[in-house]
Structure 1
Amino acid sequence: MYVLTVDQIASRSNVDRAGHAVDLLNARYRDRLLLAADRTAGDEFQLATDDAGIALTIALDLLRDSGWSVGLGQGDVRTPLPTSTRAATGAAFYAARDAVTRAKKAPLRFALSASDAQRGADLEALIVLLLHLRERRTAGGWEVADLLHEGLTQAEAATRLGLTESSVSRRVAVAGIRAEAAATEAIVRLLTDLDRPGRHHREDTR
C-alpha cells in the first residue's frame, strides 16, 4: 500500500488550507482510495491507496501547488483496515511519517520511504528529477500541459489557446511534456513493482 502524509508549509503564518485540500482530494479520488484523505493533526492530513498511479498523481498535484511537504510511504498495513485513516497503522504509515519529516527539509519538499530502502531511495531520486523538470515549466507550458492532460490534441489545444500548431509544438518541447509523460509511466511501473511483494497486506505485529 501507499500512504501519503502531507503537511502544510508555514501554516502558522498562512490560512489553514488542509480542510479544503482534503475535501478536494476526496471528491476527485475517493473511489480510488482505500482510506479517504483525513486530517491527522492540525494542518496535516493522510490518505492511503493501493494504486501507484493515483499516489504519484496526488503527490505531483500537491507539489505543483508549492504549499505542501509531501511524504510518500510504501509498505504493509495492519488489517482489517479501519474506517478512518487516523485509526490505521502499519509499515506504510511509519514510512510516510519518516518521509514527510525528511520532505520538510528537502528543497522540493518531497521524500519517499519504502520497505526496500535502496529501491525507495532510487525512486525518490527519479521523482525529484521529475519535480525539477516540472518546476522549470512556464505558465504557458502548463497551459498546454493541462489541456493535453484533459485529452485534447495539440491541434485542439492550439485552437483553444488561439495559437498556431507550431507554437503549441514548441511549448510542448520546451516544457518537456512528452518526457514527463514517459518518465511518469516508468515511475508508476517501478512503484507498482516496489509494492508487489506486499500487495496482499499482511497483519502488522508492531
Structure 2
Amino acid sequence: MFAMTVDQRRSRDGRDLVPDALGALGRAVPEPVLPFERTVGDEIQALLGRGEDVVAACRRLLRDQEWHVGIGVGPVELPLPASTREARGEAFIRAREAVEEAKSLTPSLRVLGGNRSDEGARDADVVLRLLASMWTRRTAAGWDAVDAVEATRDEGGTHQPLRDVAQRLAITPQALSQRLRTASWQLEVEALPLAARLLDAAGARMAEEWGGGQR
C-alpha cells in the first residue's frame, strides 16, 4: 500500500489551498483505496493501491509548487476504516517521516519504504524526484501545451494530430512542438510508467516482507 501525506507550503502566508487540491486530486485519482482527506490544518492524507495513482497524485501536486509530498510504502492495519483519518499502519508512519524530510528537499518530495534500507523505494524516490524537477520547472505555457495534447488522448493512448491541438491553442504546429520539447513532454511520457513500476515493485517487496503487505 502507498500512504500519502501532503502538507501545504507557506500556509501561514497564503490562503487555504486544501479544498482546491482535494478537488484536483479527486479528478487525478478517481479510485483511491481511501480518499484524499484533510486530516488536520492544511494537511492531506490518502491511501492508494497502485503506483500509477501515486504518480498521478504527485504530478498534480508538484506542478503547483505549493505542497510538500511524502509517500510511505508498507502495510496498513486491517480492516480498513471508512475514513483515511482513522487509518493506521507502517505506510502511514513512513509517509509522515517522508513529508518531514521533503520539507528540506528541492523538489519537495520523498518516498520511504517500510524498511528504510529498501533499494526499491529508494529507486522510486529518485525517479519521482527527477520527474518532480521537470514538473516544477515547466512553464505555464508548457503546461498549457501538455494539457491540451493530453486532453485529446483516447482509450488506446493515441492523441489527435498536433496541428489540430495547435489550432485550438491559436498557435502554429511548430510553436506547439517547440513548447512540448521545452517541457520535455516526450521524456515524461516514457518516464511516468517507469516510476509507477518502481513503486509497484517496492510495494510488492514490502508485501512479501510483511507477510501479505497488510496486518
Shift of residue 80, structure 1, vs aligned partner: 0.9
State the secondary structure of the residue aligned to 1:33: coil
Mapped contact 1:79–1:201 kept (Cα < 8 A): no
99-108 vs 149-158, which deviates more?
149-158
Which residue does 2:37 correspond to in 1? 38
In the alignment, is residue 6 of structure 1 matched against residue 6 of structure 2? yes
Identity of aligned residues (%): 33
Structure 1 spans left out of the alignment, 5+ residues:
none
Shift of residue 144, structure 1, vs aligned partner: 1.0
State the secondary structure of the residue aligned to 1:41: coil
Which residue does 1:66 correspond to in 2? 65
Mapped contact 2:134–2:184 kept (Cα < 8 A): yes
Which residue does 2:132 correspond to in 1? 131
Q: Distance in 1 between matches of 2:200 and 2:136?
A: 25
Which residue does 1:17 correspond to in 2? 17
Q: Distance in 1 between matches of 2:19 and 2:103?
A: 20
Instruction: Please point out which of 165, 170, 180 is paired with 1:162.
Output: 170
State the secondary structure of the residue aligned to 2:11: coil
User: Structure 2 counterpart of 1:3, which letter?
Assistant: A
Which residue does 1:202 correspond to in 2? 214
TM-score by length of structure 2 reads 0.86
Shift of residue 91, structure 1, vs aligned partner: 1.1
Q: Distance in 2 between matches of 1:132 and 1:24?
A: 20
Which residue does 1:173 correspond to in 2? 181
Shift of residue 174, structure 1, vs aligned partner: 2.0
In the alignment, is residue 140 of structure 1 matched against residue 152 of structure 2? no
Query: How many residue pairs get matched?
Result: 202
Q: Distance in 1 between matches of 2:85 and 2:110?
A: 21
Q: 1:188 to 1:172 in 2, by over 3 A?
A: same
Which residue does 2:120 correspond to in 1? 119
Mapped contact 2:29–2:56 kept (Cα < 8 A): no
User: Structure 1 counterpart of 2:114, which letter?
Assistant: S
Mapped contact 2:120–2:199 kept (Cα < 8 A): no
In the alignment, is residue 190 of structure 1 matched against residue 202 of structure 2? no
Report Cα offsets for 1:30-50 as digits up to 9, x if no partner.
Answer: 741111111221111101110
State the secondary structure of the residue aligned to 1:6: strand
Mapped contact 2:28–2:60 kept (Cα < 8 A): no
Q: Distance in 1 between matches of 2:28 and 2:176?
A: 30
Shift of residue 170, structure 1, vs aligned partner: 1.9
157-166 vs 99-108, which deviates more?
157-166
Shift of residue 29, structure 1, vs aligned partner: 5.3
Which residue does 1:88 correspond to in 2? 87
Report Cα offsets for 1:9-61 as digits up to 9, x if no partner.
Answer: 111222222233224433x2574111111122111110111021111111121
Q: CA RMSD in A?
A: 1.8
Structure 2 spans left out of the alignment, 5+ residues:
153-158
Report Cα offsets for 1:54-76 as digits up to 9, x if no partner.
Answer: 11111121111111111011111
Report Cα offsets for 1:126-159 as digits up to 9, x if no partner.
Answer: 1111122223322222111011121253222111
